[in-house]
Amino acid sequence: MENIIHIIEGCKRQDARSQKMLYERFYGYALKIAFRYVYRYDVAVNITNDGFVKIFRHIERFKYEEEEYPERLMMAWMKRIIINTSIDELRKNNMTPEIGGIPEYVWEEPDNSQRADQLLLYKELISYVKNLPPMYRVVFNMFVIDGCTHFEIADALGISVGTSKSNLSRARGILQKIIKEKEEAKSWSI
């Protein structure tokens, strides 16, 4: 496997081979991020591809000097671009929720670092998050899953920090209700 620094430097030189390697290496990662915001597979693929276009266009802005973990930095930088591209798509469609499915292979971790039970819990959580109203879903994804602050969320979505906090609180309340109902249904079926 090619060293990530060599791939990044190749992308900065606009080397097509390096761009292909970066794309193939992080495609699944980027697609999962996009799919948390937009639930139609075809739209998530378009967002992922648009995100990679932005990544390649602005790769010279990516800095990793004297950093021990350039791959982690690349993933964080890429994550921000994919999230912003997803939010732009949601804005374009007036935050209309997208419904759809995603192929199983997208959930698979290339290094098998996630245990099967963790993967099932993650998939279950994402399926519950799909049921949230669009703005609650976006705020929940950004805060809980992607680790953004309320200030970052407010700035990205053009809302106040208070609205971000309120939407997160309401999203958590809805999710707690969904989980409680699912647990009660399981206990009745036993």
Q: Which amino acid is at 150?
A: H
| Assigned token pair, 153 | 């969320």
Q: Which residue has the higher pLDDT, 77 or 106?
A: 77
Nearest to 100 by CA among 41, 169, 171: 41
Share above pLDDT 70 across residues of the chain, in percent, rounded to a whole number: 81
Residue 37's CB: how many other CB atoms inside 10 A?
25
Which domains are assigned to the chain? 1-113 (1.10.1740.10), 115-190 (1.10.10.10)
The helix, strand and coil proportions of the chain, stated in percent and rounded to the nearest 5, come to 75, 0, 25
Helix (H, G, I), strand (E, B), or coil: what is residue 24?
Answer: helix
Q: What angle do CA 130, 77, 99 make, to 5 degrees?
A: 15
Query: Residue 168 has which token pair?
Result: 């997160």
Q: What is the mean pLDDT of residues 106-110?
A: 50
Q: In the prediction, which pLDDT does 99 show?
A: 46
8 or 39: which carries more pLDDT confidence? Answer: 8
Residue 142 has pLDDT above 70, yes or no: yes
- Residues 85-107 have pLDDT tens digits of 999 888 887 765 554 455 555 44
Distance between CA atoms of residues 143 and 164, nearest Å = 9
Confidence of residue 35 (pLDDT cuts 50, 70, 90): confident
The pLDDT of 64-77, averaged and rounded, is 83
For the chain, give the percent of residues with pLDDT over 90. Answer: 44
Tokens describing residue 106? 């997208």
Query: How far apart are the C-alpha atoms of 166 and 164, rounded to whole Å?
Result: 5
Buried b (16+ CB within 10 A) or exposed e, 40-66: bbebbbebbebbbeebbeebeebebee
pLDDT for 19 beyond 50: yes
Tens of pLDDT along 48-62? 999 999 999 999 999
For the entire predicted model, the pTM comes to 0.69
